[in-house]
């Protein structure tokens, strides 16, 4: 899989993708991630990427031309049709189900907004407009990192064992994941549940299922309503 990210702050993302399982997957050639500076696709000497909004109002809006040039440049390097995604507070909510869908795409292009937003005409480039939550960030870089991380780890070979993915929250039926424990079996009077030490796989699975339901009911009851 190839993921291209377009931003005015590439340095915010370059370090993030150099570490952990994603960094290793890049080294192994399983996932390609490229971060592009939007300013490189301007044509004026000041490399201006924003301007005042038509109709008035505070702040600045990112111009359409650099995004169009950037996306067309990236597409010219591809032999497949990418999903082009604008990260936006106005987009549809990013979920694990959507991450699985995007992981089936051969290539993604993620567009990071800034300031008061992106010129609406940029959406003509896009197949998707995605939000990572009902809150506002200063820019799309954090959202791009979230989407890229969530999608890339679903690509076969990125996470060492499939069983690790199956323990994730939202993997089964949209529930939160069960609690996890490791050594020591007791710490400051806090004990690991006895069932996890029995080696009885059926009982352990029943415990984890029940614990996942309890945690979902406590922290995200809206998921059970769905």
CATH 1.10.1270.20 segments of the chain: 167-225
Render pLDDT for 119-160 as a digit per residue (tens, 0 to 9): 999 999 999 999 999 999 999 999 999 999 999 999 999 986
pLDDT of residue 174: 76
CATH 3.40.1280.10 segments of the chain: 2-152
Give 137's contacts (C-beta < 8 A, 6+ positions apart): 89, 143
Residue 40 CB neighbour total at 10 angstroms: 13
**Whether residue 61 has pLDDT greater than 60:** yes
Q: What is the pTM of this model?
A: 0.87
> Nearest CA to 107 among 41, 157, 32, 37?
32
Q: In the numeric block, which tokens belong to residue 23?
A: 């960094």
Render pLDDT for 160-189 as a digit per residue (tens, 0 to 9): 655 555 556 555 567 888 899 999 999 999
Q: How far apart are CA 112 and CA 128, in angstroms?
A: 13
Find out whether 224 and 216 touch, Cβ atoms under 8 Å.
yes
Region 2-152: CATH code: 3.40.1280.10
pLDDT of residue 49: 97
Among the four given CATH numbers 3.30.2320.50, 3.40.50.11810, 1.10.1270.20, 3.30.70.2740, the one describing domain 167-225: 1.10.1270.20
């Amino acid at each position: 899989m190839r993921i291209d990210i377009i931003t005015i702050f590439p340095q915010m993302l370059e370090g993030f993708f150099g570490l952990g399982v994603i960094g290793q997957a890049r080294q192994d050639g399983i996932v390609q991630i490229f971060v592009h500076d939007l300013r490189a696709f301007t044509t004026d000497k000041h490399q201006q990427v924003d301007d005042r909004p038509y109709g008035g109002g505070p702040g600045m809006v990112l111009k359409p031309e650099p995004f169009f040039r950037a996306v067309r440049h990236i597409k010219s390097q591809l032999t497949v049709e990418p999903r082009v995604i604008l990260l936006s507070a106005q987009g549809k909510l990013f979920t694990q189900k959507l991450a699985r869908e995007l992981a089936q795409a051969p290539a993604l292009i993620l567009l990071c907004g800034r300031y008061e937003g992106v010129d609406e005409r940029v959406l003509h480039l896009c197949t998707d407009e995605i939000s990572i939550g009902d809150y506002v960030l200063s820019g799309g870089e954090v959202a791009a990192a979230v989407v890229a991380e969530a999608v890339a780890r679903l690509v076969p070979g990125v996470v060492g064992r499939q069983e690790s993915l199956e323990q994730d929250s939202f993997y089964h039926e949209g529930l939160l994941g069960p609690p996890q424990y490791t050594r020591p079996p007791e710490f400051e009077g806090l004990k690991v549940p006895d069932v996890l030490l029995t080696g009885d796989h059926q009982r352990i699975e029943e415990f984890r299922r029940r614990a996942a339901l309890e945690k979902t009911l406590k922290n995200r009851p809206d998921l059970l309503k769905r």
